[in-house]
Amino acid sequence: MAEDVRLSDTTLRALKFLLSAPVEGRSGAEISKTARIGSGTMYPMLARLETAGWVEGKWEEVDPSEAGRPRRRFYTLTTAGRARARAAFAELQVAPEGALAWNS
């Protein structure tokens, strides 16, 4: 069951980015770069969203020694997460694909 989460500016930026391609997995690094969120803020936030049932994280299936890099964790919005995120943006009267009023 999806729980309520704190909808800070940072959380809204991450949700906006995840809603841009809701079924496509996004790496933490991609979310961080695009949404301009530092990793020290972003990963705890993603963990809270995952615990609340808004996002699902999955490790990629790759051998780090063969890939020459660490494995990535990809995040997608759950069905409940998509509905809750869209409802949050509607409540704020902001289209998820548009600029947030305080960031435009």
CATH 1.10.10.10 fits 9-93, yes or no: yes
What gap in Å lies between CA 67 and CA 48, rounded to an integer? 29
C-alpha count within 13 angstroms, C-beta hemisphere, residue 93: 1
Query: Tens of pLDDT along the chain (104 residues)?
Result: 456 788 899 999 999 999 998 888 999 999 999 999 999 999 999 999 999 999 999 999 988 899 899 999 999 999 999 999 999 888 887 666 555 554 44
* Three-state DSSP state, 73: strand
- The reported pLDDT for the residue numbered 4 is 72
> Domain-by-domain residue ranges, the chain?
9-93
- The reported pLDDT for the residue numbered 6 is 85
pTM over 0.95: no
Q: 84: exposed, middle or buried (C-beta count within 10 Å: 0-12, 13-18, 19+)?
A: buried
